[in-house]
Amino acid sequence: MKILNTKTRRKIISLIFIFAFMFNTLVYGNNRNPSRKNLEDMIDDVAVKRAIPSVLLKSIARVESVYSQFNSDGSPKTNGSSIGLMQVNNRYGGYNSEKLKYDILYNIEAGADVLLNKWSTSSYNSVSSVGNMDPNVLENWYFALWAYNGWSSGNNPNTYGRGRTYQQLIYDTAEIEYGEKINNIDFSYLPKSGKPSRSLTVPTPAYTNSANIVLYEKGDYVMTDGIRGKYHLRDCPAGKYIYEINVMKLGTIIDGPVLQNGYYWYKVCMDGNMEGWIERNWLTRTGDEGHGKYVFDDISFNWARKIIMDLYSEGVIAQASSFNPDCAATKEEFFTFLGRVLENNEVNIPGTNNEENVMNFVDAAEIHSWAVEHIQRVKKLGLLEDYGGELDPLNSLSRKEAAKIIENLFGENKEFDGFDICTTFSDLTQLSQEEIDAVKSAYTNGIMSAKEPGNFCPYDCLTRAEAAALTAKINNKIKEWK
């Protein structure tokens, strides 16, 4: 074998350095941090799937990396062995380092996995715990947060003051940036210095805040899902392993939830005969026995999922890859839902305008083709008279506008002639009398109610999920009406 001379070796080494520089420039040059809003949305999605309080996961990202996966030059944000947005410490190689560096979603999933591991050490008394370790109580996560960067005595608030602890940084971020107040535990239970006993259980504070973890129901279709490759079914909640199962394994919930050792457990049936208990954190809902597999990929965790699927089965909502339940509903979208309901129920209101050419809005050209015939139907029935000559079809629909349409459809409920709607809702004082009457009609006809205690929130826009819920109530009311 011929040995390379010094000059040739130098050329090769130079070429290697040049190639490495060009490669890194190309790779890093394409790595840009998404907007904070996009990152928060990604974290919210992961938190909901993993049954973790999203405010905690977002606050960790804020404290750890100031919402940065990459540096300004496009290189991955690292600090020693800690990597990326969630600063996941991969010293022992538990995760894929390259994916931690370049795959933001993977990094978030890994951060969620780290937090759940710390939660597990607390709920199984490897470190201190709070109360009954219900994960749906924000205050119960105190020691899991303490342990996120290691079970360090430096996070004892009695040693250096609570403002210097990691968990207090998370609490402050949650309150200042997300408006979520989390109450501290009673620090008198902690030692004056050092780490508390692993067996210590501190009472949950008297005043608590909900984490709003989404729970499932019997009959829900689920799929094992997460960053891990293998999962286990157990003989009882927190019991012994009886089956090893892969990711994306389909099953049906047959029992639960049961709170045990800090987790909500569900008994699932897989492959028709394999039954066992598994944590909610590794199950993603895909449908339910009443509706089958959901046709929309973004309604599994939404409160209106069954309503949306009912309207889909009746042809009121058309099939699409996503429903976007939390986006604002446009007027043309709501009027399309309403038009299909009116068509399905063969509604014809006596004395209304039945002329064929009713699309005389000055902005009719803005209406999408799929919405035209349905808006025509709604217009012909006299339900859009309040819009005059301009519909503004692509703008969002306010709650007071929806109330007016409902009044036009159902009229006044005579049973409540003497009822003052302003005694129920305190935020109607800026509305005209006509608008107040519309709110009263929508309320007394059982179609609309308070959005928050004591308030109707007339100027708030309807989300698509809320629009679907209103449409379902209108549909049911028309069936009773007929």
Q: How many residues does the chain have?
A: 482
- Residues 176-204: b if buried by 16+ CB within 10 A, e if exposed: eeeebebeebeeeebeeeebbeeebbbeb
* Tens-digit pLDDT profile for residues 325-337: 999 999 999 999 9
Share of the chain above pLDDT 70, in %: 91
Q: What CA–CA distance (Å, rounded) separates 354 from 126?
A: 73
- Residue 254 pLDDT class (50, 70, 90 cuts): very high
Query: Cα–Cα distances in Å, from 116 out to 55, 85, 88, 121, 344?
Result: 14, 17, 13, 9, 48
Burial code (b: 16+ CB inside 10 Å, e: under 16) for 427-453 equals bbeebeeebbbbbbbbbbbebbeeeee
Mean pLDDT of 107-112: 97
Decide if pLDDT at 255 tops 70: yes
| pLDDT tens readout for residues 278-294 | 999 999 999 999 999 99
- CA–CA dist 453, 460 (Å, integer): 15
Answer positive or negative: Cα dihedral of 243, 246, 252, 255. Answer: positive
Average pLDDT in the chain: 90
Q: Is the pLDDT of residue 15 over 50?
A: no
**Band of pLDDT at residue 22, cut at 50, 70 and 90:** very low
Query: How would residue 387 be classed by pLDDT, with cut points 50, 70 and 90?
Result: confident
pLDDT classification of 34: cutoffs 50, 70, 90: very high
- Smallest CA-to-CA distance from 208 within 249, 180, 188 is with 180
User: Over the stretch 72-82, which tens digit does the pLDDT of each residue have?
Assistant: 999 999 998 89
Domains of the chain: 31-212 (1.10.530), 220-293 (2.30.30.40), 305-481 (no CATH)
pLDDT on residue 3: 41
Q: Is the pLDDT of residue 125 over 50?
A: yes
Instruction: Show the DSSP H helices in 92-161 as ranges.
Output: 97-102, 104-123, 142-146, 157-160
pLDDT for 148 beyond 90: yes
The residue among 273 and 399 whose pLDDT is bigger is 399
Average pLDDT over residues 391-397: 94
Parallel/antiparallel/unpaired status of strands 201-202 and 292-293: unpaired
What is the C-alpha to C-alpha distance for residues 322 and 393, in angstroms, rounded to an integer?
21
Average pLDDT over residues 414-443: 92
DSSP structural state of residue 447: S
Please give the average per-residue pLDDT across 235-251, as a whole number.
96
Strands (E), 50-204: 78-79, 82-83, 88-89, 129-130, 201-202
Amino acid 161: pLDDT: 76
**For residue 224, pLDDT beyond 90:** yes
